[in-house]
Structure formats: structure tokens, C-alpha cells
Amino acid sequence: MGGALPAGPHEFLAAAAARVGAAPGGTPRRPRVGVDLGTASCVLVVLDDDEPVWVESAGSGALRDGVVVDFARAVSTVRALRESAQEALGLELAVAATAYPPCIPVADARACTYVCETAGFDRVELVDEVSAAQRTLEVTDGVVVDVGGGSTGVGVFRGGELERLDDRPGGGHHLDLVLAGALDLDLEEAERFKRERPGDALPIVVPNLHRIGESIRSMTRGVDADLPVHLAGGALMIPRAGDVLAQYLQRTVVTHPHALLITPLGIARSCPEGGSTP
């Protein structure tokens, strides 16, 4: 089973990937900022209208299962990313959007907003991570699955509208824990092993991929089997992980290039235009 991206989202993701580590082409006239507060890393994206002009990430570790557990560290990370972007782009970034895992308590979702406000943004829009991913992938009819570091969020879309939204514990962090235990590595080494030797990592984490698959199945019970499942998030950037899930779920699973950027880009697309000072 498999599928392909529409040309629009594919080109959008490729353009963003080309900005990673690259100098900006100029000062954006209509900046839109997205801040993805991830479990392992934080990503800040700046769009000029809908064109990626700045993409930068930094290790964080300030969140666990999508919840801010080290507020000061999260603020410090976002502030440093914001200042870096402002210096490179030559303007002050005053408005941003950020995201939260579906179904976490309201207070925990608002903590993501407070992090960005304390880091210097005057106004912060809040969106759930699955809806953000859908804004990048432009899925009209399908299931969008955002596999983050600590949890797996699932949204069912029909006609471009969100019909169902849910979330379960379990994500990339749990895969790292399994690798660390099996190979006697610390977590950072396990994450590096997963990215540098994915072929060796896959057989070890298959049982946990099945666990993620079971969460997806549970959250899509009663949903038409012909609706494809679209994977977003960096946690499953392991070759053939999509095939493992497709076989387990017995439905089409679509993987995407530059999956780590899908949600951050959708967060930026959720940000109101403007809100900058030269």
C-alpha cells in the first residue's frame, strides 16, 4: 500500500527543507510565524505570505507528552530562535502561532501560548497539531496522523472539514526508550541510532509501531477503510515504517518527505499575516 503527495504540498515541503541552514533571501513583507514546541526539539518557521523564508530548530527537552514540564527552558529556547530569526530577517516578529496535542487539558494547551508570549511575541494564535498538519498536506478526505515525540494525534477529515479528533500516549520518545534498552544506549544515542541506522532500528521497534498502529485503529474505529492514513511528524522518519503500519492496519498509509516540517509549516499557515516591525 502507498500513495503520493499532491504537487502543491510536495513543493511547499521541499521549499521549506531548502531553507534549513540557509540564509534568508530578504526581509519578508507579510511574515507568518509558526512555533512548534516539540518533545525533542523546537522548530520556528517564518513564511512570507505562503513562501518559506526561514526554518530553524533547537534541542529543547522542555516538553513531555506534549505538556510543558520545564517552562523556563521552553521560553529560553523559543526566545533564542525568535532572536535568531529577527536578526537574520531584519525585522521584529510580534505575532506567531503555536500548537498543542489534541485532547490535552485546556490549561496545558494555554501553557504553549504563555511560553511564546514570555519569549517576546505580543500575540499568539493556538491550533491543534493535527489541524496544523492538515493545513500543510491539504488532505480533503482522509485520516491525518501526527506522531510526535510523546503522543499520537489523529484527525478524520471529510470535504476538508475535521470530523473527529483524538490523541493517545505513545510516540517517537517511546521508540527511543525501546532502542536504548535493547542496545544499552542512552536516549540521545538511541535517537541518533534511529536516524543514522534506520534499517537496523526498524526490526527492534516493530512491536512499538504496532502499538502506535493499534492507537490509530482505536481512534478510527467506524471510519471508512478506504480513507487513506497520512503520516506527519518526525517520530516515524524510518524507511518502511509506513509499510509496517499499512500491513498492520490493512489500509493505505501515505508517508511524506520532510515529515518533520509538516506540522511546523501548518502552524505558520495558521498565523495571521503581518505583526512585524522593521
Confidence (pLDDT) at 91: 94
The residues pairing with 56 across neighbouring beta strands, listed in sequence order, are 44
- pLDDT tens for residues 4-33? 444 489 899 999 999 998 988 778 999 999
Could you give phi then psi for residue 228, rounded to 5 degrees?
-70, 150
Confidence (pLDDT) at 56: 96
3-state secondary structure of 93: strand
Confidence (pLDDT) at 4: 45
The model's confidence at residue 238, banded by pLDDT at 50, 70 and 90, is confident
Q: Which domains does the chain have, with CATH numbers?
A: 7-131+261-277 (3.30.420.40), 139-259 (3.30.420.40)
* Residue 257, all three cell numbers: 518527505
- Residue 253 burial (C-beta neighbours within 10 Å; 0-12, 13-18, 19+): buried
The Cα–Cα gap between 129 and 71 comes to: 20
* Residue 274, all three cell numbers: 503581518
Average pLDDT for 251-257:
94
Residue pair 189/181 in contact (Cβ under 8 Å)? The answer is no
- pLDDT tens for residues 88-107? 999 999 999 999 888 888 88
Q: Where are the beta strands (DSSP E) in 72-215?
A: 92-93, 95-100, 123-128, 142-147, 151-158, 161-169
Residue pair 147/117 in contact (Cβ under 8 Å)? The answer is no
Average pLDDT for 180-208:
92
Confidence (pLDDT) at 107: 83
